[in-house]
């Protein structure tokens, strides 16, 4: 499967979690969470330091989510992201999207070693626009 097919396939998933979601409009964790919601996805914010993001309950970890997401977008530093890859694998979450900055080799390698479907060279904001997913 080429990268474009992989991206289309992952964007076809309807339930997402954004690890590193934030209530700060200047941050990518906010922009990604907001755009996924606007595009019609069911999205859960994950950030142990917040109670809500854009009026949605924010969860402290992927493990704490009320449903298993189809895909998880990472907007966190690599040292934070690597153990969360393990959480995803243990929960049976197969799709992870590592944003630029979250996509260091240690995180990419951990995800691949766990057998996950990994996107690590593209920004989801760019791809949502490119795929014209926005409603």
- Domains of the chain as residue ranges with CATH: 3-130 (3.40.50.720)
- Average pLDDT over every residue of 28-49: 97
pLDDT at 23 over 50: yes
User: pLDDT band at 131, cuts 50/70/90?
Assistant: confident
pLDDT tens profile 110-120: 999 999 999 99
For 57, left (φ over 0), alpha (ψ -120 to 50), or beta? beta
> What does the alpha-carbon distance between residue 135 and residue 117 come to, in Å, rounded to a whole number?
26
pLDDT tens profile 36-46: 999 999 999 99
User: What pTM does this model have?
Assistant: 0.95
User: pLDDT band at 135, cuts 50/70/90?
Assistant: very low
Q: Return the residue matching tokens 């998880």.
A: 72
Residue 106 is predicted with a pLDDT of 96
Residue 82 is predicted with a pLDDT of 95
Strand bridging mode 56-57 / 71-74: unpaired
């Amino acid at each position: 499967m080429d990268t474009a097919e992989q991206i289309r396939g992952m964007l076809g998933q309807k339930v997402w979690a954004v690890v590193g979601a934030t209530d700060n409009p200047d941050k990518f964790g906010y922009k990604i969470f907001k755009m996924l919601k606007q595009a019609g996805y069911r999205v859960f914010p994950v950030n142990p330091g917040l109670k809500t993001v854009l009026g949605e309950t924010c969860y402290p970890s992927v493990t704490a989510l009320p449903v298993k997401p189809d895909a998880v977008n990472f907007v966190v530093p690599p040292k934070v992201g690597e153990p969360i890859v393990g959480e995803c694998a243990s929960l049976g979450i197969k799709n992870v999207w590592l944003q630029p900055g979250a996509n260091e080799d240690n995180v990419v390698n951990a995800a691949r070693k766990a057998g996950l479907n990994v996107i690590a060279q593209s920004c989801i904001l760019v791809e949502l626009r490119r795929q014209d997913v926005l409603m």
